[in-house]
Amino acid sequence: MPPTHANAPGSEDRPEDRPADRVESETDLVQTYLAPLAAGSAGAFGLRDDAALISPEPGTDLVVSSDPIIAGVHFFIDDAPEDVAWKALAVNASDMAAKGARPLAYILTLALPDAPTRAWMTRFSDGLRSAQESFGCRLIGGDTDRTPGPLSIGITIFGAVPAGKFVPRLGAAAGDHVFVTGTIGDAALGLAVRRDASAFEGVLSDDERAFVLGRYLRPKPRLALAETLRNHASAALDISDGLMKDLARLAGPSGISLGLGSVPMSPAVGAALAHDAAVAKTVLTGGDDYELLVAVPPAAIADFKIGAERAGIAISRLGVLEAGRKFEIRDQHGTLIDGQQLGYDHFSR
């Protein structure tokens, strides 16, 4: 784990972090830094109740998802607090996008190894405010705790879809075409740069390095595509554990065969791959892209493409799901890669 930032929760006391600079109590933390994020949400009750109230609009279904992030697993302890906050909410908003849902509200569980400094909490709450304004939702409740373990941020997000329009992960059928949004592999390269500032020096320009690092630190949920998914997709999920693993999940009992050349890549990833062929595995198995994988029936493809264009979301076709076909991905040399064995897994050895 990288060195602890001076203002990060759990850092060693320093002269600038004397007790007067730290949050004094749980009530202080909630009311000073978190309650303002609930402003405008009547069901949040100013974060002074033990529960919150959501009143869904008539004719809609509620969609619920929860995706925590933990220091040393999903982010570095010395990442900027505003980036950590953004990522915590963004990865949950991405789940809403994949279901065709509009984010409504979220609850936050914040487990801290020590009382945070006021500077850290200010930056963290600013990051949450920026994220929730971008994603169209508000904080409505949660909990704060002291933990002997690393900093942990748990978010449960609530969204809404028109009744019966939820987009499942397992709805794809043989004959459906598979599309992916954006570009793949950027966040995996960004993680490499975050781990080692010298990674890809002389290969990527300063702008390219900043681009991939930004893609890792601040994923951008494809919420603008939600309506198009509801109307034209048979299945969808976001890419959190790597293209190959999540594509196998989407395909279900069907199979798909594609080559590395079908995978959309940014100029930065293309440059890294041209320099080192081993980057192919990073592109195919790295997580944290939070792009969307979408299965579309043939009859809906034209309308899906029109919807994506109107939403301003770039899409690329990966291939067609086929009954009785194995799941196959080939690298740039045509060598077969076992896609179902590769990808991020919290418990894999």
Establish whether 143 is an annotated binding residue: yes
Q: Where are the alpha helices (DSSP H) in the chain?
A: 26-29, 81-98, 118-135, 186-195, 206-217, 226-232, 243-251, 267-275, 279-285, 301-311
Establish whether 74 is an annotated binding residue: yes
Phi, psi (deg, nearest 5) at residue 197? -60, -20
CA–CA distance, 292 with 94 (Å, rounded to integer) = 8
Establish whether 290 is an annotated binding residue: no
CA–CA distance, 283 with 90 (Å, rounded to integer) = 21
Establish whether 49 is an annotated binding residue: no
Tell me how far apart the terminal alpha carbons of the chain are, to the nearest angstrom: 19
- CA of residue 313 relative to chain centroid, distance: 16
User: Hey, what are 38's tokens?
Assistant: 């609930």
C-beta separation of 90 from 65 below 8 A: no
Establish whether 288 is an annotated binding residue: yes
> Cα–Cα distances in Å, from 306 out to 220, 225, 227, 314?
21, 11, 12, 11
Q: Are strands 102-112 and 138-146 parallel, antiparallel or unpaired?
A: parallel
User: Hey, what are 36's tokens?
Assistant: 């303002």
Establish whether 126 is an annotated binding residue: no
C-beta separation of 322 from 254 below 8 A: yes
Establish whether 142 is an annotated binding residue: yes
User: Hey, what are 348's tokens?
Assistant: 């894999």
Establish whether 238 is an annotated binding residue: yes
Establish whether 345 is an annotated binding residue: no
CA–CA distance, 64 with 78 (Å, rounded to integer) = 30
> Cα–Cα distances in Å, from 263 out to 48, 270, 293, 319?
48, 11, 12, 10
* CB-neighbour burial class of residue 329 (10 A; exposed 0-12, middle 13-18, buried 19+): buried
Establish whether 65 is an annotated binding residue: yes
Number of Cβ within a 10 Å radius of residue 191: 21
Establish whether 13 is an annotated binding residue: no
| Beta bridge pairs of residue 297 | none
Known binding-site residues for ATP equal: 142-143, 169, 240
Known binding-site residues for substrate equal: 74, 288, 344
Known binding-site residues equal: 50, 65-67, 74, 95, 142-143, 169, 238, 240-241, 288, 344
Known binding-site residues for Mg(2+) equal: 50, 65-67, 95, 143, 238, 241
